[in-house]
Structure 1
Amino acid sequence: MYAMKYMNKQQCIERDEVRNVFRELEILQEIEHVFLVNLWYSFQDEEDMFMVVDLLLGGDLRYHLQQNVQFTEETVKLYICEMALALDYLRSQHIIHRDVKPDNILLDEQGHAHLTDFNIATIIRDGERATALAGTKPYMAPEIFHSFLNGGTGYSFEVDWWSLGIMAYELLRVSAVPNARRAVSCVPQKGRLHCDPTFELEEMILESRPLHKKKKRLAKNKSRDNSKDSSQSENDYLQECLEAIQQDFVIFNREK
């Protein structure tokens, strides 16, 4: 079983997110590691771009923090060691993740940590330095702010280690606050939902283009498009962008 992420093309164009999606796909197609959430397949249709990745059922660390879970020091050490191996591998591939935080670390059913979300990752080679302001502010290294605000010399792979250190402090500090809950091991309970079902239900209700209605919707759109005046400039621009995505999108199958 896998997890599938799908991104609506028109929404990506409107939010100026196409470049980020393509960069994430480019990176994920070239890497594979036991402590990453790995991409297995990518494909597209008229409406959406799809990414099929490892299915991790243990929930993300942010969820467990919000549930007031107390992690043992040994558990936090395990997470840090596994993330250190993941970051060392990414450095060997010239990749800065730039968004290491509890929200982007998923647990599998055995309790091992996996890094996900390469949406703002970047590739640097041959002594290059990154300069863009990117990341989640509480976890961002000082040199990222300095480079952006004061025109510093930029930053490199070290910023991910800073973020990992902030996360380790957060996990240990929360665990140190006295409460009635006992410290838990790193193995999530099987058969339990490790996410907020209310949030997931809201996401489904608010989804304007649900997958199960796709076939009917595409047929309706095709009929409507045939009856429209194709000279409208906005529609022409959108169509050009959609065609560019269709042409540039890379279909991927890790098994081949």
Structure 2
Amino acid sequence: MGATTSSKSPPFDGNEDVTFDHFEILRAIGKGSFGKVCVVQKTDTKKMYAMKYMNKQKCVERNEVRNVFKELQIMQGLEHPFLVNLWYSFQDEEDMFMVVDLLLGGDLRYHLQQNVRFQEGTVKLFICELVLALDYLQSRHIIHRLMAVFPLLFFSEISSPTTFCWMSTAKLLTVSLHGSSVTFFSWQRSCSEELSGHVHITDFNIATTLTKESHVTTIAGTKPYMAPEMFNSTKPTSYSFAVDWWSLGVTAYELLRTRRPYHIRSNTSANDIAHVFKTATVMYPAAWSPDMVSLIKKLLELNPEKRFSQLKDIQSFPYLSDVNWDAVLQKRIMPEFIPMKGRLNCDPAFELEEMILESKPLHKKKKRLAKKEKDTSKSNSSQASHLQKHLEMLQRDFIVFNREKVRPHHDSIQETMTKSGGMHREDNQNNHL
């Protein structure tokens, strides 16, 4: 992708808004429910980010604008070591953009599909890191509702963004598509990249805010990871933060066993799911330690009132009594599993799709918009007029965000969170779980 974005970006003035022009596109790495994701580099700081972009017209046609705006509103108020944090949001005539932390280690689903077998010590650290993130979200009154091994949890981060770069020369690949030979560019990493192996929560597009005055009853999420209280067969019932902790229990079980505790699929009806929870028995392999089994059982408690759903529940559990929580928060615990260097840790088909099948590829945006400005013809149909009205409303109401302006004197996230309190372990304890 980057080979065709050769036009020089304008110099960046710290007082102006960040736009698409301030980034160099490197390659496509993912596809979400509302848009696609690519790796970008900010031209002034040389820092690397992931940029999610969503086509405005498609969002309007699919009635997804409200979800995008809600995700932006939630993410601009969050910052935590184990979240994928939002840095910038902006728009142009075609797309809405969200620029977030770049994590290149792949999601947990990808590694399970690569036949990675996670050991108990690895899963134990994941649980510790994720409960800190869930506790933080809970303190902000946020229910995530999408906790799962995909598309939430990403391994690895670039610890030194300025040292991460891509080869200036591209490797040419030739692909046969429906009998035609298509040549495209594939970028390769050449500079040092440090993969940390820590987990992060992303994707807030169905997250919601819970307050004392409001009740949440909407069924939303990925069915195999959704809590029993979300599937009341008689009438909608309200639920709370405990649904995310149930999802954490399902995720932990799946990482250890490579299958989920209940046989539930995305097409299973709500009534059938409610029946499964009433009749099925969760099996725990004899090879698992009794302590881990006890912990997962506390997370997979059918009754939300009895389920572990607060940080203090986890911290007081005997299995985790020796954890140095400050060290976990500051990422000073070395993970047992670190994604393999020298590979993308995601499906390369994303880039093929962007280069070959996408009708409006991102790397040709500047030329396309420039040509569009010259074309003054407009459709007078009522349908086009209706769409244009919604697009104008979207343009007007879009939330522009720049974390650097919000926090000009930027301390590290770890230092900020350490000062926020809540960790009752002394810092001079050993850094092992």
- Fold-level similarity (TM above 0.5): yes
CA distance, structure 1, for counterparts of residue 102 and residue 201 of structure 2: 12
Q: Which amino acid aligns with 1:18?
A: V
Counterpart position of 2:244: 160
Aligned structure 1 segments of 4 or more residues deviating by more than 6 angstroms: none
Larger Rg: 2
| 1:128 maps to which of 214, 222, 229 | 214
TM-score by length of 2: 0.55
CA distance, structure 2, for counterparts of residue 140 and residue 204 of structure 1: 36
Counterpart position of 1:202: 353
CA distance, structure 2, for counterparts of residue 70 and residue 11 of structure 1: 39
Alignment of 1:128-207 (within 5 A): 128-146=214-232, 149-174=233-258, 185-207=336-358
Q: Which amino acid aligns with 2:120?
A: E
Counterpart position of 1:250: 399
CA distance, structure 2, for counterparts of residue 25 and residue 218 of structure 1: 25
- Displacement after TM superposition at 1:128 (Å): 2.8
Counterpart position of 1:37: 84
- Displacement after TM superposition at 1:16 (Å): 1.0
* Stretches of structure 1 lacking an aligned partner (at least 5 in a row): 179-183
- Displacement after TM superposition at 1:221 (Å): 3.0
Deviations 1:91-147 (A, max 9, x none): 00000000000111001121000000001000011153211110001001111111x
- Displacement after TM superposition at 1:151 (Å): 1.9
CA distance, structure 1, for counterparts of residue 92 and residue 229 of structure 2: 41
Q: Which amino acid aligns with 1:167?
A: T
Counterpart position of 2:317: none
Q: Which amino acid aligns with 1:252?
A: F
- Displacement after TM superposition at 1:199 (Å): 4.4
CA distance, structure 1, for counterparts of residue 252 and residue 230 of structure 2: 20
Q: CA RMSD in A?
A: 1.8
| 1:238 maps to which of 387, 396, 401 | 387
Deviations 1:210-246 (A, max 9, x none): 112112222333344x2234x3211111111111111
Counterpart position of 2:124: 77
CA distance, structure 2, for counterparts of residue 8 and residue 198 of structure 1: 20
Identical-pair percentage:
67
SS of residue paired to 1:114: coil
- Displacement after TM superposition at 1:56 (Å): 0.4
CA distance, structure 1, for counterparts of residue 50 and residue 230 of structure 2: 32
SS of residue paired to 2:111: helix
The higher-RCO structure (CA 8 Å, 6+ apart) is 1
Q: Cα gap change, 1:127/1:169 in structure 2, threshold over 3 Å: closer, same or farther? A: farther
Q: Which amino acid aligns with 1:131?
A: T
Counterpart position of 1:181: none
Deviations 1:158-198 (A, max 9, x none): 0000111001110111298x9xxxxx932112222211213
Bigger helix share: 1
SS of residue paired to 2:75: helix
| 2:377 maps to which of 227, 231, 240 | 227
- Displacement after TM superposition at 1:15 (Å): 1.1
SS of residue paired to 2:70: helix
CA distance, structure 2, for counterparts of residue 232 and residue 105 of structure 1: 45
CA distance, structure 2, for counterparts of residue 155 and residue 18 of structure 1: 25
Alignment of 1:10-89 (within 5 A): 10-89=57-136
Q: Cα gap change, 1:127/1:171 in structure 2, threshold over 3 Å: closer, same or farther? A: farther
CA distance, structure 2, for counterparts of residue 21 and residue 34 of structure 1: 23
| 2:203 maps to which of 96, 104, 117 | 117
CA distance, structure 2, for counterparts of residue 128 and residue 227 of structure 1: 48
* Stretches of structure 2 lacking an aligned partner (at least 5 in a row): 1-47, 157-194, 260-284, 288-334, 406-433
CA distance, structure 1, for counterparts of residue 61 and residue 236 of structure 2: 32
Deviations 1:71-108 (A, max 9, x none): 11000111111110100100000000000001110011
- Displacement after TM superposition at 1:47 (Å): 0.4
CA distance, structure 1, for counterparts of residue 212 and residue 112 of structure 2: 39
Would you say the 8 A contact 2:79–2:85 is kept in 1? yes
